[in-house]
Structure formats: C-alpha cells, structure tokens
Amino acid sequence: MHSKHYLKKMKFNDVTQSIRMLKGTEHAATPDTQWLSSNRSRLLTHIDRTTEEMPTRVFTLVHLWSALSLIMPQRTVYAVVRPAFIFVLCFGLGTAGWITTVSASLESLPGDALYGVKLATEHTQVAVVEAVQGKRASTELRLTFVSRRVDEVGKLVAAGTADNSAKQERVNQAVENLKSEVRGVSDNLNEVKASNPMDAVHVAQAIDRKVDVIQLSLISTNATTSSTEASAVIAQLKQESGAAATSTSSMNGGAPSSTPAAASSPNSTATSTTAATTSSTKIIAPLTRGVLETPLEQPIVPKKELIPERPTELGPDVVDVSAPISIQMRD
Amino acid sequence: MSSKLRDKYLLYRIQTKRDAQAYGELYDTYVAGIYRFISFKVSSKEEAQDLTSETFLRAWHYLLESRDVASFSALLYRIARNLVIDHYRSRRATVSLDEQLEIDIDENTSPTDKGEQIKMLDINLEASAVATAMKQLKEEYRDILTLRYIEELSTAEIAEIVDKTSVHVRVLLHRATNALKALLEKNEI
C-alpha cells in the first residue's frame, strides 16, 4: 500500500535524475571496502603466480609504437607514424640499392647488364651539373664522358674473346656511343656560343685541352674502321672549338687562342693494325708530353709600333729637362 | 598527469614489463564502477563480486595478448557486459522484487529518526520503481542508461563499449530515456 502511494508522489519530469538517484542504492551499490582490498591482493597474487617472467629485454618496434602512443593518439601512431616510418625505410633501402648498383656499373662496358645504369647515371649527372653550375661545367663533364667512351672502346678491343662477331658488335656500339657523346659536346658548344660568347671561349679552350688526348686515346685503341667516323667527329669538334674561340676572341679584340695541331691524321692511323698491348692511358703519356707542354696560347706581346720610341732629336715644343739650363742675363 | 595519460603509461608498463603493481593501480581506479555496473544487472552481491573479479582477471590476460587498447575503461565495461550475458545464459537467476521492496520501520525510534527513515523509504521506493522499470527495458537500453547516468561515461566511451558509433549511441540514449519514461508512467497507473 505504501508503495502505490509513494509511486504516485514520484515526479517523472526528469527521468535521467531518477536514474542517477540509483547510484549508491542497493541497486547500484558501492563495493565493500574489505572485499575490495582482499580481492585486490588475491588478484595480484594470482597474476604473479601465473604470469611468466618477461624475457631479457629486447627492444622491438612494438615498444616504440607503445611508447609513442603515450604522447599521441594510438590511431595516429598506427595509421600515420608507422606507415611513414615504413615508407622512409623502404625509400632508404631503395636508395642504398641504387647507389650500390651505380657503383657496380662504373666498370661496365657496352653490352653488359648494368651499362644502361651507367649511361642513365651519366645523363643524370649532366642534367644536375647543368642546372646547378651551367653549360660550361656540363660541357667539361661531357668531355670526361667522351674519354670514358674511348676507354670503353679500348677495353672492348683489347678484350680477348672467341666470338669475334659479338665483340665487333659491341665495339661498334661503343663507337656509336662515343660519337653520340661527341655530338653532345658539340651541341653544348653551339648553345653556349649562342647564349654567352664569353663562356664559349672558356668552353672552347676546355675542349681544346682534352680533345687531343681523346684523339690519341682513340688512336691507341686500335679500333677497326668503324672508329674512323668517331675520329672524324672528334676532329670536327676540334675545328668547331677552334672556330668558336677565334671568332669570339676577335669580337672582343683579344689575341686568339691557338691550338697546335698535334694530333695525327685520323684516317691513316685509325686503320692501323699494329697490336697494342698496353692500355690507352700508358700510351697517351709519352705521346702527349710534347703536346701538353706546348702552350695553347701564345703570350700576348705588345707590338713594337705601339710603344713609341724615344725621339733622338727633340722637337721645338719639347724641353730637354736633362740638359743644364743656361740663363742669359739681359743687359 | 591527466587520467588518460596516466592510464596509457600504466598500460605501457603492463604490456612491456608485465608490471602487476601498475595493474593494481588500474584496479583501484575502476573497480568501484565495474562493481556498480555489474551489481545493477545481477541479483546478488556475491555474484557481483565474482563477476567483478573475473572481469579484472580477463582484462589482464587481454592486455598481455593484445597491443591495441585505446581505452582501458571501455575494455573493462565490455568484458563485464559480456560476462553478465554469459552468466545469465549459464544460470537462470531470478530476482525477487518483493524482497527488494520490504522495508521495516522500527516503531521505537524517535520522530526525527522516523522522519529520516520515511524519507529514505521514499527514496528507496522511488529507486525501486526506477530499477524495476529499467529491468523491463531491453538489455541494450538498460546498459546505455546505466553507463551514461550511473557510471557517467561519455557517448564516445559508451560507443566503444557497445561497439557502435557515437551518433547511434545518442539516438539509442534518447529512445531508452523515452522508453523508461513510458514504463514509469505505465507503472504509476
């Protein structure tokens, strides 16, 4: 009877308040304090008995993610940080692998598996140097690559192999690469001439310095007739550089830079069949000693007519201060 | 140190070093709430104590096996809820409503004490009515009302416990409140 009476008195406006009221009653009771402490010690004892000891601490990535989860949301750690870490790791491994491949490709020759990598690396180098340091630096770099192409031709010719046709094919490919590289240098020179004539002089001088060595290197490889065209292209490049240097210098009124024609005719020596057992670098040194010691530029000597000679007789307007002065007194 | 950061640090110690003392600290923080949540759903104090102990034991093993624990409190309530469901599946416990409503008033007490006792009787009767009505609600509504208004958890935490979105929880909360209100009004008649 009491229950109905009090239920009627009850207000239902705030149902939520009624629910909150249950807290602390027997329906949603607080635990007994004694039971709490005894249960706690029972729980921890059970954990100590049943849990295996942690093995010797080995730091793993799981610990890293767990530690990071302390300072940032766990979802961020597993959805952003961990994938980014994996990406950086893969990128680093890929880069290291590429560097290793490039290093291994440095000694490769036309026809080898890694030769493409070597060429790709050189093209990349040229592009980067040109972007950072300009055409002049990239031309010098290309000249270095021309030397490499010549070395490759020499190595292929010197390589002993039973299959002559395959060897000849590789040599031809190497010569084609050489020609292509020389044409690239020539194109560079023309571009520099068009854009910056002053730089063209320096580029031409750099070409002059190296092209003779390259010519001699090619000669020393004892390549077959297919290298004749290569020698011709190199000779043409030499002429272009000489012309570029001359025309630019004459425009500026300076002394032309002369290049002694130390290289022998490419046509006669390219077809030489004498055996060469030493490498091209050993042959170049004695041959080019005389060439390299010859200054490429003659020192600028002022012409005599430009320096006026001291007159033997002084003119009427000139006073000879070296002679004693005679003073005549007037009467 | 905020409670969430403290919980994360204790979880880190538990998962990397299997630190039992760190788990004891978490026990101290959450045991009252879990006991209250379970006691509202079961009929006796002993059952509530047993299920509370079992909840913490299972949570310990879960922490050792799994790395991904976003909220330890949500984990505890989830385990407690599942244990109560399993408990009612294995046993068919009945609740004697008449026993809960029996309240004796001592005739020898002073008028002031009697006033207090009547006041407490009033509160107890009202609580009993609400508790009775809540037990008539479906399990999902009852759990959400309990977690929200008795345990005072946020909708995000409740969403994690019941494995639903926060929006869905808010909708369920509104429906549960209306359902309880309807039941209370019906019981009043």
- Joined together, the tokens standing for residue B134 give 């809540």
pLDDT winner (highest mean) among A214-223, A306-315, B119-128, B147-156:
B147-156
The 10s digit of each residue's pLDDT in B4-57 is 888 888 988 888 888 899 999 999 999 999 999 998 888 888 999 999 999 999
Of the candidates B31, B45, B150, the beta carbon closest to that of A22 is on B150
Q: Is residue A159 part of a domain?
A: yes
Q: Is residue A50 part of a domain?
A: no
Rounded to an integer, what distance in angstroms lies between the CA atom of residue A123 and that of residue A101?
16
* pLDDT-derived band at A92, boundaries 50, 70, 90: very high
Asked if B49 lies within 8 A of A6 by C-beta distance, the reply is: no
* Min distance B42 CA to chain A CA atoms (Å): 9
Which residue of chain A has the CA closest to B2? A70
* pLDDT-derived band at B67, boundaries 50, 70, 90: low
Asked if A51 lies within 8 A of B28 by C-beta distance, the reply is: no
One domain for residues A119 and A83: no
Rounded to an integer, what distance in angstroms lies between the CA atom of residue A188 and that of residue A181?
11
Is the separation of the CB atoms in B7 and B26 below 8 Å? yes
* pLDDT at B167 exceeding the cut of 90: yes
Q: What is the pLDDT averaged over residues B61-70? A: 80
- Joined together, the tokens standing for residue A168 give 């000849």
Q: Is residue A142 part of a domain?
A: yes
One domain for residues A280 and A136: yes
One domain for residues A158 and A245: yes
One domain for residues A80 and A203: no
Amino acid at A224: T
Residue that has been written with the tokens 């009945």 in this structure: B94
| SS (HEC) of A159-222 | CCCCCHHHHHHHHHHHHHHHHHHHHHHHHHHHHHHHHCHHHHHHHHHHHHHHHHHHHHHHHHCC
A53: CB partners within 8 A, 6+ apart? B18
Which residues 112-141 of chain B have a CB within 8 Å of chain A?
A: 121-131, 134
One domain for residues A227 and A163: yes
Name the burial class of residue B114, with classes exposed (0-12), middle (13-18) and buried (19+) by CB atoms within 10 angstroms of its CB: middle
Listed in sequence order, the DSSP H helices in A51-163 are: 61-71, 74-76, 82-105, 115-133, 135-158
Which residues 143-182 of chain B have a CB within 8 Å of chain A?
A: 145-146, 149-150, 177, 180-181
- Structural domain span for residue A68: 61-96
One domain for residues A90 and A184: no
Which residues 198-237 of chain A have a CB within 8 Å of chain B?
A: none
* Min distance B38 CA to chain A CA atoms (Å): 8
Which residue of chain A has the CA closest to B143? A19
Is the separation of the CB atoms in A109 and A155 below 8 Å? yes
One domain for residues A163 and A92: no
Q: Is A76 on the interface with B (CB under 8 A)?
A: no
Q: Is residue A200 part of a domain?
A: yes
Asked if A42 lies within 8 A of B53 by C-beta distance, the reply is: yes
* pLDDT at A115 exceeding the cut of 80: yes
Q: Give the domains, in start order, of chain B with CATH numbers.
A: 3-90 (1.10.1740.10), 111-188 (1.10.10.10)
Which chain B residues have a beta carbon less than 8 Å from that of A44? 20-21, 23-24
One domain for residues A67 and A126: no
Q: Is B36 on the interface with A (CB under 8 A)?
A: yes
Rounded to an integer, what distance in angstroms lies between the CA atom of residue B15 and that of residue B8?
10
Q: Is residue A237 part of a domain?
A: yes
Q: Is residue A43 part of a domain?
A: no
Of the candidates B56, B124, B127, the beta carbon closest to that of A43 is on B56
Asked if B45 lies within 8 A of A29 by C-beta distance, the reply is: yes
* Min distance A75 CA to chain B CA atoms (Å): 8
One domain for residues A76 and A214: no
One domain for residues A76 and A122: no
One domain for residues A152 and A280: yes
Radius of gyration of chain B (CA): 19
* Min distance A19 CA to chain B CA atoms (Å): 6
DSSP, collapsed to helix, strand or coil, labels residue B21 as helix
Per-residue confidence (pLDDT) for residue A289, from 0 to 100: 42
Q: What is the pLDDT averaged over residues A196-201? A: 80
DSSP, collapsed to helix, strand or coil, labels residue B51 as helix
| Bridge partners, residue A23, by sequence | A28
Asked if B60 lies within 8 A of A23 by C-beta distance, the reply is: no
Is the separation of the CB atoms in A222 and A157 below 8 Å? yes
Q: Is residue A311 part of a domain?
A: no
Q: Is A12 on the interface with B (CB under 8 A)?
A: yes
Q: What is the pLDDT averaged over residues A30-35? A: 88
Which of A74, A96, A118 is where one domain is finished?
A96
Q: Is A70 on the interface with B (CB under 8 A)?
A: yes
ipTM of predicted assembly, 2 dp: 0.75
Asked if A21 lies within 8 A of B27 by C-beta distance, the reply is: no
Q: What is the pLDDT averaged over residues A209-228? A: 71
Of the candidates B52, B124, B126, the beta carbon closest to that of A18 is on B126
Q: Is residue A12 part of a domain?
A: no
When the pLDDT of each residue in chain A is averaged and rounded to a whole number, the result is 72
Q: Is A11 on the interface with B (CB under 8 A)?
A: no
Which of A69, A96, A123 is where one domain is finished?
A96
Per-residue confidence (pLDDT) for residue A7, from 0 to 100: 46
Range of lowest pLDDT (A102-116, A278-292, B16-30, B64-78): A278-292
One domain for residues A132 and A260: yes
Q: Is B22 on the interface with A (CB under 8 A)?
A: no
Rounded to an integer, what distance in angstroms lies between the CA atom of residue B7 and that of residue B26?
7
Question: What's the structural domain count of chain A?
Answer: 2
Per-residue confidence (pLDDT) for residue A186, from 0 to 100: 86
Per-residue confidence (pLDDT) for residue A304, from 0 to 100: 54
Which residue of chain B has the CA closest to A63? B16
